[in-house]
Amino acid sequence: MSHAASKPETAGHSQGPGAAAGLALIVGAIGVVFGDIGTSPLYTLKEAFSPHYGLDSDHDTVLGVLSLAFWSLNMVVTLKYVTIIMRADNNGEGGIMALMALAQRTLRHGSRSAYVVGILGIFGASLFFGDGVITPAITVMGAVEGLEVAAPGLGRFVVPITLAVLALLFAAQRFGTEKVGRVFGPVMMVWFLALAAIGIWNVIAAPEVLKAFNPWWAARFFMEHGWQGIFIFGAVVLAVTGGEALYADMGHFGAPPIRHAWYFFVLPCLVLNYLGQGALVLQRPDAVANPFFEAVPGWALYPMIVLATMAAVIASQSVITGAFSVSRQAMQLGYIPRMRILHTSHDTIGQIYIPGINWGLALMVFGLVLAFRSSSNLAVAYGISVSGTMLIDTLLLALVARTLWPRARHGILALCVAFFVIDLGFVIANGAKLLQGAWFPVALGIVLFTMMRTWRRGRELLRDEIRKDGIRIDTFLPGLMLAPPVRVPGTAVFLTADPAVVPHALMHNLKHNKVLHERNVFLHVETLPVPYAAADRRLKIEPVGDEFYRVHVRFGFMETPDVPLALMRSCDHGGIYFDLMDTTFFASRETIVARANRGMPIWRDKLFALMHRNAASATGFFRIPGNRLVELGAQVEI
């Protein structure tokens, strides 16, 4: 869900309408941003004491695991993401794609370092999609598994109910989240208050658990378990999943509302619940089978299952809409093929629905539920994608801090070393579970990374081939005007990837129709490495002569490109006037032919050709009306 109108400053006001707006942003952030990390108590402690890790639920081990979870929350989420990384905003936007663009800005364009940073960012985005596949499956299944505690005979219905809830969730995406999104905040506030209440209820019965605040218990855990103790990070990382989402959603709400919600509400509620589960296990070691629901009083069990399912749906919704947002950014930056994007709100342009992404996610989520069949099995697969993304965030943060924050550079770089050690521990611990199921998000990340790099490289090769076979405009036009063809009324807009080369569509138009429009525009659309293009950079018009113009239209990677609207507004900035009813758009649609021993290995050439063939047309992506469009085909070998 998107709240693009939000401004960071509103949360800082202390009275009047500003205070109300700030409170609304905080409630909205609680509903959208914290869904993933807020549902982690459903399965974190349960997974830590699963047979996979071989831990006994004795006094010292329970306090050690709780201490590790508490300090991981504070080091990774509170200090790293909420306090430090959220200061690295790209014109107010966050997330790994924005951080990658910010880091690349500190390096020389085209340098090997910039290339490596791009590789890291794209791989991190690929891992993010792996997280997006597992989160809906594990959160919904973890909530529905409360039925096994309430009535063990209902255990066989967990998978069917999970699939039914997920099917309704994905089917509802095409209607948008504007209306249902209004209840996200209040529902999640009730959820977090319930977490805190359950925690307090159990801590009162066993206040001994409060000793877990002392980091000595975390250190003692490693002293008792030796080097093998690092593998518990594979379960502890579940407590911090969703930390990256706080940064990714910064552009929707602003940093202050997210910080206030985390420091003063979400973090205390989470800590209280983890302590409450630990207190229960200290009293009843057998409760480790499902400590979350075992900690709930009997009279509240069924209402808590319903509330947990609602929270899981909200967490899944946040991940799904996050996948839509990241996909659009990747399309704009040229890393994935264009897809059909539908807008689900007349008021908020950021609320979008991408059918291809939605149903692709749905198929993989359904497959995961059927293959793993329990949240404990899914927890083994979970974590590797999250820890990999966090490690990449740390590396990019160090690069940004070194160049853009000279005053705080030394202190933050020292913290980055500590963050790197923690993140590396998470990666190693989760990497040890590769054969048990962690291979899935890694394999998915590698496949997506390969596709994204192939698309990017294929587009470069395609541009090179077009440029190689093309004729430069500055040499073509003088020769053309020596014996000009018949000119007809109206404006012709030729879309081109290279504004210096004559578009294929113009050549075909001259060859077959033997006419030239009264006014001709070579249009080049560019995506900038910033979220939103400034008004003074939106449009650039260069007269070439004889009523020919080069027009550059620029959009940010968070924007929805609308070429006709940008052109019609050109006269507002002293540009030429475009009458849409008197304008015809010409575009080339290339057919890719893969040839061996050319740009890429033949299998990647064929993959690019397949992706190119199934990509949405550029004209539809740029919102060019079909009744004003002429598309001409061209065959290109790569």
- pLDDT of 260 above 90: yes
**Distance from C-alpha of 567 to C-alpha of 578, rounded to nearest angstrom:** 6
Q: Give the start-end residues of each E strand in 307-456.
A: 342-343, 352-353
Instruction: Quick: pLDDT tens for 454-500.
Output: 999 998 888 888 777 778 888 888 888 888 888 999 999 998 888 88
Residue type, 147: L
Instruction: Quick: pLDDT tens for 93-124.
Output: 788 878 888 888 878 877 888 888 889 888 88
Instruction: Quick: pLDDT tens for 435-451.
Output: 888 888 889 889 999 99
**Distance from C-alpha of 160 to C-alpha of 445, rounded to nearest angstrom:** 28
Closest CA to 327 of 107, 621, 580, 34: 621
Q: What is the mean pLDDT of residues 538-551?
A: 88
Confidence at residue 367, expressed as pLDDT on a 0 to 100 scale: 92
Alpha helices in 470-601 (DSSP H): 473-482, 504-513, 563-568
Beta bridge partners of 527: 555
Confidence at residue 347, expressed as pLDDT on a 0 to 100 scale: 53
Measuring CA to CA, how many Å separate 113 from each of 107, 403, 482, 618? Answer: 7, 14, 48, 31
Question: 301-332 and 112-144 helices cross at what angle (nearest 10)?
Answer: 160
Confidence at residue 441, expressed as pLDDT on a 0 to 100 scale: 87
**Distance from C-alpha of 331 to C-alpha of 352, rounded to nearest angstrom:** 14
What the chain holds in terms of domains, given with CATH numbers, is 8-223+231-437 (1.20.1740), 461-637 (no CATH)
**Distance from C-alpha of 96 to C-alpha of 250, rounded to nearest angstrom:** 12
Instruction: Quick: pLDDT tens for 509-524.
Output: 888 888 899 999 999 9
Q: What is the mean pLDDT of residues 255-280?
A: 95
- pLDDT of 573 above 70: no
Query: What would the two tokens of residue 8 be?
Result: 């960071």
Closest CA to 60 of 70, 68, 52: 68
pTM: 0.81
Instruction: Quick: pLDDT tens for 5-39.
Output: 333 333 333 343 467 767 888 888 888 889 889 99
Question: Are β-strands 342-343 and 486-495 bridged in parallel, bridged antiparallel, or unpaired?
Answer: unpaired
- pLDDT of 3 above 70: no
Helix, strand, or coil (residue 542)? strand
Closest CA to 141 of 43, 242, 286: 43
Helix, strand, or coil (residue 531)? coil
Helix (H) or strand (E) holding 631: strand 629-637
Confidence at residue 402, expressed as pLDDT on a 0 to 100 scale: 87
**Distance from C-alpha of 318 to C-alpha of 30, rounded to nearest angstrom:** 11
H helix count then E strand count, the chain: 27, 8
Indicate the DSSP class of residue 180.
G
CA distance between the termini of the chain? 40
Q: What is the mean pLDDT of residues 276-291?
A: 93
**Distance from C-alpha of 291 to C-alpha of 41, rounded to nearest angstrom:** 9
Environment class of residue 83 by beta-carbon count within 10 Å: exposed (0-12), middle (13-18) or buried (19+)? middle
- pLDDT of 259 above 90: yes
**Distance from C-alpha of 307 to C-alpha of 142, rounded to nearest angstrom:** 12
Which residues have CB under 8 Å from 174's CB, separation 6+?
342, 344, 353, 355, 358
Confidence at residue 76, expressed as pLDDT on a 0 to 100 scale: 95
Instruction: Quick: pLDDT tens for 309-340.
Output: 999 998 888 788 878 877 887 888 888 898 88
Measuring CA to CA, how many Å separate 606 from each of 199, 261, 595, 637? Answer: 56, 49, 9, 11
